A and B are shown apart, each in its own frame.
Chain A
């Protein structure tokens, strides 16, 4: 009697070859990154074509002295930012201002200006209170929508929540107010631009000492692409490969079941061998995809002279997480597929399967802002999320993840994967020959626990 490993590997080999020889796999290998990357490319393209239509802004100046300074500050800013310094292409809209005196009926005036905004004759209007110069320093916005009382300066606009103009105008208004304040303090108006000029703040990592030579290494300048793009990219890659490798398992098992292939195989291999063979076949597919992307990506970065950005140190972790994630998700998918009465049932369950990959995507911003905070640490040690979130933290340059955390995370993931494989094998064994009935969740849980 030959051994179990041989049968598992034989099934894995068949499934692996059957998958990688399909046109769908080869096309998917190319299309998946295009789909993921296409979104970013689209955003970049849209950003390269900004809306440069002239924007007219009305200012109602209750103070009587601030509007002129605001307009001057805005025009100086506008003149500086209007054109790209390299291409000389206009990259910002031209802002044109008009000043209005405060009306006897402020409500009617606001309504009239609002109508002009609605009819696109104005982009926005700004109302400056008479007390603006003596107003206390601004505090953080509480975001309380019920608090609709305007402050010392209010901007009225019909634009969306992510309107860049608001930030730009806010900067110009504050600039203008500072100018008036400084002028009142006796600063020479001709020197105001120098006084208010910003300086560039460079960000560096930390200085370190070579443990062998004792030599002190200067800190290197932080690179935004490396800081954000690389961790995000490698996490995206892991998620993409895991999804590409594991999501077909659900429909593959359901189809094998629907086409009555399973019982033939069960005459020759045990349900566990059949499931593990399929899981390892999918793992082989994922490793092939990852090799394609990792080698291709590394060569591409080298070609662009950016090889220093390739996070070689996290590659072993990347593969450890990839293997654990694919085995866990594929086992889960095989169990769900075995329980499905039809391919339609399987499609409905696909979203459940994608949750451990998709949910971490929604946490990216939070984790990147506080990579070593308590919540980030806890989330990245939660086994279903560990592969994605721990890898994200590890791939952040100078992320400072304590050395023990990836190891604890990996042990947790491996233990979780083992439990899932055992539970999935039990469900698979019972459910795979059921026909004409989709088991209830309670039944699946009972089979997972008792077999």
Chain B
């Protein structure tokens, strides 16, 4: 069974169409990532899945059922804008949230998660004494206690330091291994590439990409050269059949025009400077994102 089925959903706010005729399917047990620029409709879509917003048109089903505004303990939701009752203790707060979602006492689950995320010694402390990273872990626990079947995470890694981000990533993947379906949104393309089984890009309320990373990249073909050379980008001007150069500092990415011969590009480069690395590859998700939503979007040619 698919965890989520969205069919021809439209949601407007006044004159603004936040989501426009969107359809997608989230397979059960997968990690499904939403990417897209700010204001593209990711959060609105996730709020509709969580039944916080109702679609104006179309149908949203979670595990085959229309939620119609009801709340279910099957769904854990971590919003992007998340606050906590600052004067409650960590343990009391998490037990309150857990009981609110499930209708039963969740003391054992809370203790287990606090231990798992190294927060056990903070259980009796007030939330206002926690650091930002610890607060974010507490917010995550609030979304996963008791264990949901569908976990919706809006920008879960935003603002986290690398250690906390690793802890959270590991926890999410553990849940996924336990059969939980995870829907997350992210602006970090590495997170989408590395964590998500399926990626959906929403742009101006419409779905513009949907599938596995490989299938998305296949739509663009092998049109990218990643090169590292002495002197960097200054030797890359005017290369034959190269449409665009993206300079990352130590490395540059070249987008080849249709019919471009990468061997010819390599020969030209070697004539100009000493090449230390040269790879022919599919475009990165970052590059695809920029091609769709960046300034040159009008010029982009989707294969």
Chain A residues within 8 Å of B, Cβ to Cβ = 1-3, 6-7, 10-11, 14, 18, 256, 259-270, 273, 433, 435
Contact = CB atoms under 8 A, between A and B. Distances in A.
Nearest to A3: B103
Contacts of A11: 100
B104 A264 contact: no
26 contacts: A1-B72, A1-B73, A3-B103, A6-B103, A7-B100, A10-B99, A18-B85, A256-B83, A260-B83, A262-B83, A263-B52, A264-B82, A264-B142, A267-B71, A267-B77, A267-B101, A268-B71, A268-B77, A268-B97, A268-B101, A270-B69, A270-B70, A270-B71, A273-B71, A433-B52, A433-B53
A261 B83 contact: yes
Contact of B84 (A10, A18, A261, A273): A261
A261 B100 contact: no
Contact of A261 (B76, B85, B104): B85
A348 B70 CA distance: 34
A139 to B, nearest CB: 65
A202 B289 CA distance: 92
Interface in B67-106: 69-73, 75-79, 81-88, 96-97, 99-104
A264 B87 contact: no
A435 B73 CA distance: 27
Given A269-B71, A270-B70, A14 B79 contact: no
Contacts of B88: 18
Interface of B is mostly: loop
Contacts of B75: 267
A3 B78 CA distance: 22
A1 B101 CA distance: 9
Nearest to A10: B100
Given A18-B88, A266-B52, A267-B76, 4 more contacts: A261-B84, A264-B78, A267-B101, A268-B71
B251 to A, nearest CB: 38
Nearest to A15: B85
B254 interface: no
B197 to A, nearest CB: 23
Interface in B163-211: none
B81 A263 contact: yes
Contacts of B84: 261, 264
Nearest to B81: A260
B50 interface: yes
A263 B96 contact: no
B57 to A, nearest CB: 16
Given A3-B103, A10-B96, A267 B83 contact: no
Given A3-B103, A10-B96, A11-B100, A263 B71 contact: no
Q: 4 smallest A-B Cβ distances: which pairs?
A: A2-B103, A267-B77, A260-B83, A263-B79
Contacts of A433: 47, 52-53
Given A260-B83, A261-B84, A263-B82, A268 B100 contact: yes
Residue from the set B87, B96, B142 with the largest chain A CB neighbour count within 10 Å: B96
Nearest to A11: B100
A18 B84 CA distance: 13
Contacts of B86: 259
Nearest to B143: A267
Nearest to B152: A267
Contacts of B136: none
B139 interface: yes
Contacts of A268: 71, 77, 97, 100-101
Nearest to A261: B83
A433 B43 CA distance: 12
Contacts of A265: 100
B83 A2 contact: no
Given A2-B102, A2-B104, A18-B85, A267 B79 contact: yes
A269 B100 contact: yes
A14 B97 CA distance: 11
Contacts of A261: 83-85
Contacts of A18: 85, 87-88
A93 to B, nearest CB: 58
Contacts of B103: 1-3, 6-7
B132 to A, nearest CB: 13
Contacts of B152: 267
A1 B104 contact: no
Contacts of A2: 73, 102-104
A160 to B, nearest CB: 51
A254 to B, nearest CB: 13
A269 B73 CA distance: 10
Residue from the set B103, B104, B152 with the largest chain A CB neighbour count within 10 Å: B103
A67 B138 CA distance: 89
A260 B83 CA distance: 5
Contacts of A7: 71, 100, 103
B101 A264 contact: no
B294 to A, nearest CB: 26
B97 A264 contact: yes
A273 B73 CA distance: 15
Contacts of A260: 79, 81-83
B204 to A, nearest CB: 20
A264 B69 contact: no
Nearest to B80: A263
Nearest to B73: A1
A261 B135 CA distance: 13
B100 to A, nearest CB: 4
B185 to A, nearest CB: 14
Contact of B52 (A3, A267, A273): A267
Contacts of A1: 70-73, 103
A11 B71 CA distance: 15
Contacts of B104: 2
Interface string B44-78: 00010010110000000000000001111101111
A31 to B, nearest CB: 21
B70 to A, nearest CB: 7
